[in-house]
């Protein structure tokens, strides 16, 4: 319901007292923490813009494209580390790679915590690694989720990833007007299989809309840990129709979608397992449920119970689906906007693969330019421009600036990857920038930070990179991507729309996608049939 359509009514007295009480507690704890922290150290907090009386920076920090504003403030206050404060919660923004590497990587143990995500709790997430605070539960989930996605283990998924890349390109050729459906289908299929052993049957599979629902919920929820509930947890109990509680309304709107994403595929996976004589160790739920049952049979305790398995499996689906789809969408955009880059990358594929077969994993190491296209895509638009916030475990001092215990730490990856002193002309899509000067490039460093830092770095980064490389190779081999055609039948360039609330994503856009040669569909179908018959690639 739109807030303007809420009938005007007097606040019940108990709610009024509740609000006043919550604010009073917040102000008091703010003052106590301020006195305590100033007596603890002589080092000053990092600089930042002035806050407002009592509210601090609550209204100073914008909700939209905040990472750009942080970069601007960094220049204005001539600092790579900024400080903000709202009701006693201190936020530190790291605008430079140097500060992020020093604090989040080198002093990683002190920054392995996460803030409490009260808004996400309201959204109904079950225990998922991404949001878990530092402690035994986090260590347990990380210990269980990291091993299946190491470089040495992800080889077992490559056959399936290539098959999904083929299906994706078949979809692009068969239904180019709905190219985004093929991209989304591919991304969901890869992580759904790995997490649960389940298949996506077609573009209308219910698993796609389920995964998309929670991806949308998180993508537009605002920067994590930045809502009023995250600053004053008691406000989560206020009525959601209050004008300033729009993030609580948002959380409640998406609650059931998020809970379904955790529950339904897990339940389906359990049902399927009951009908199978042998579970497949490659799929996360199969592997963990087998261990769970084995322990139970032997009378051993299970530290990773069914709720944990459910939460961890949904992390793979949610963290791995939208990020991959959004990156492929960006690849399509940048190839469309940069026809010279597209042509050069296609020529490389034609040279390495030839034109009489489709790319395989043996080709990927030789696609040097395509890899730079992917790196440049990472740099141009990091999907999580402020990462996922870490939190400091103990007080620290960095270059004479005080970083208090419990501060929320945002690495401003966007600012790092658009730093003009590192990347010349940072808004230009130019994959050659990473080549040596002798090779026609500018010798710039590959982007760092879009998969996070330190002990919370993305566990799925190598898996994601494999998915993206094989999909990119397959796209380059099979289709041409151009601007959509206008009413006069000519290619019509346009500026796409973006969403910068929470994640940075390009909104759906039209493109002209055409098969690079006749007979490609037949080749793809033949490959898919061969895969069905057990051909190993």
Whole-angstrom CA distances from 437 to 317, 442, 443 are 41, 5, 6
Would you say 235 or 329 has its CB closer to ligand HEM?
A: 329
Sign of CA dihedral 114, 419, 426, 345: negative
Planar angle of CA 116, 447, 401, nearest 5 degrees = 50
DSSP annotation string for 437-497: GGGTS--PPPP-STT--GGG--TTHHHHHHHHHHHHHHHHHHEEEEPPB-TTSSB------
DSSP annotation of 87 reads T
Planar angle of CA 102, 104, 108, nearest 5 degrees = 100
Would you say 74 or 387 has its CB closer to ligand HEM?
A: 387
Binding flag, residue 91, ligand HEM (CB under 6 A): no
Binding flag, residue 409, ligand HEM (CB under 6 A): no
Binding flag, residue 458, ligand HEM (CB under 6 A): yes
CB of 4 to ligand HEM, least distance (A): 36
Binding flag, residue 323, ligand HEM (CB under 6 A): yes
Binding flag, residue 73, ligand HEM (CB under 6 A): no
Would you say 133 or 529 has its CB closer to ligand HEM?
A: 133
Which residues fall within 8 angstroms of residue 89, CB to CB, at 6 or more apart? 115, 230, 231, 408
Binder of ligand HEM out of 219, 320, 385, 502 (CB under 6 A): 320
| Residue 186 assigned to a binding site | no
CB of 132 to ligand HEM, least distance (A): 7
> By CB under 6 A, how many residues form the interface with ligand HEM?
28
Would you say 157 or 429 has its CB closer to ligand HEM?
A: 157
Binding flag, residue 67, ligand HEM (CB under 6 A): no
Query: Is-contact 387 67, C-beta < 8 A?
Result: no
According to DSSP, the residues that pair with 404 across neighbouring strands are: none
Q: What is the distance between the alpha carbons of residues 2 and 25, in angstroms, rounded to a whole number?
A: 30
Q: What is the distance between the alpha carbons of residues 9 and 180, in angstroms, rounded to a whole number?
A: 45
Binding flag, residue 385, ligand HEM (CB under 6 A): no
Binding flag, residue 471, ligand HEM (CB under 6 A): no
Binding flag, residue 100, ligand HEM (CB under 6 A): no
Binder of ligand HEM out of 262, 463, 473, 505 (CB under 6 A): 463
The closest of 380, 320, 372 to 145, measured between CA atoms, is 320
Per-residue x/- mask for ligand HEM, residues 133 to 152, rule CB under 6 A? ---------x--x---x---
* Stretch binding ligand HEM (CB under 6 A), from 275-283, 350-358, 453-461, 521-529: 453-461
Binding flag, residue 179, ligand HEM (CB under 6 A): no
Tokens representing 311 are: 């939460």
Would you say 191 or 352 has its CB closer to ligand HEM?
A: 191
Query: Is-contact 206 279, C-beta < 8 A?
Result: no
Annotated binding site for heme: 458
- Can you give the binding site for ligand HEM, defined by CB under 6 A? 129-130, 142, 145, 149, 315-316, 319-320, 323-324, 327, 383-384, 387-388, 390, 450-453, 456-460, 463-464
Which residues are documented as binding site? 458
């Amino acid at each position: 319901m739109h807030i303007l359509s809420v009938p005007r009514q007097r606040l019940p007295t108990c709610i009024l007292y509740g609000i006043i009480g919550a604010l009073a507690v917040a102000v008091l704890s703010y003052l106590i923490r301020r006195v305590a922290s100033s007596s603890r150290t002589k080092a000053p907090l990092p600089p930042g813009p002035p806050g407002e009386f009592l509210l601090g920076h609550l209204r100073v920090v914008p909700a939209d494209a905040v990472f750009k504003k942080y970069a601007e403030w960094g220049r204005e206050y001539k600092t790579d580390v900024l400080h903000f404060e709202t009701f006693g919660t201190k936020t530190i923004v790291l605008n430079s790679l140097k500060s992020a590497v020093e604090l989040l990587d080198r002093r990683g143990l002190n920054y392995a915590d996460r803030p409490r995500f009260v808004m996400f709790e309201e959204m109904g997430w079950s225990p998922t690694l991404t949001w878990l605070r530092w402690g035994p539960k986090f260590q347990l989930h990380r210990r269980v989720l990291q091993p299946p996605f190491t470089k040495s283990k992800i080889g077992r998924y490559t056959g399936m990833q290539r098959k999904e890349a083929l299906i994706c390109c078949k979809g692009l050729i068969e239904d180019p007007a709905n190219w985004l459906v093929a991209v989304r289908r591919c991304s969901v299929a890869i992580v759904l299989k790995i997490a649960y052993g389940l298949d996506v049957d077609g573009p209308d599979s219910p698993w796609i809309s389920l995964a998309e629902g929670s991806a949308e919920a998180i993508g537009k929820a605002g920067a994590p840990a930045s809502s009023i509930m995250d600053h004053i947890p008691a406000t989560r109990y206020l009525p959601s129709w209050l004008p300033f509680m729009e993030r609580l309304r948002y959380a409640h709107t998406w609650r059931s979608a998020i809970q379904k994403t955790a529950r339904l595929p897990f339940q389906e996976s359990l049902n399927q397992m009951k009908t199978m004589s042998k579970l497949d160790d490659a799929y996360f739920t199969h592997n963990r449920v087998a261990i769970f049952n084995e322990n139970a049979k032997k009378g051993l305790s299970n530290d990773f119970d069914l709720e944990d398995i459910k939460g961890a499996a949904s992390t793979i689906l949610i963290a791995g689906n939208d990020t991959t789809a959004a990156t492929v969408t960006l690849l399509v955009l940048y190839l469309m906007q940069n026809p010279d880059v597209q042509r050069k990358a296609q020529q490389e594929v034609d040279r390495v693969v030839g034109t009489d077969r489709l790319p395989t994993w043996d080709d990927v190491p030789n696609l040097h330019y395509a890899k730079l296209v992917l790196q440049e895509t990472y740099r141009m638009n990091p999907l999580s421009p402020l990462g996922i916030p870490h939190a400091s475990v103990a007080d620290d001092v960095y270059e004479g600036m005080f970083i208090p215990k419990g501060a929320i730490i945002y690495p401003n990856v966007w600012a790092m990857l658009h730093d003009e002193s590192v990347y010349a002309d940072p808004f230009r899509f130019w994959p050659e920038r990473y080549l040596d000067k002798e090779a026609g490039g500018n010798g710039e460093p590959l982007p760092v930070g879009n998969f996070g830092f330190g002990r919370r770095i993305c566990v799925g980064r190598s898996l994601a990179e494999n998915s993206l490389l094989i999909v990119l190779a397959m796209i380059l081999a099979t289709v041409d991507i151009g601007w959509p055609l206008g009413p006069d039948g000519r290619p019509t360039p346009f500026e796409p729309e973006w969403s910068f609330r929470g994640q940075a994503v390009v909104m759906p856009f039209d493109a002209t996608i055409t098969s690079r040669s006749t007979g490609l569909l037949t080749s793809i179908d033949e490959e898919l049939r061969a895969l069905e018959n057990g051909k190993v690639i």
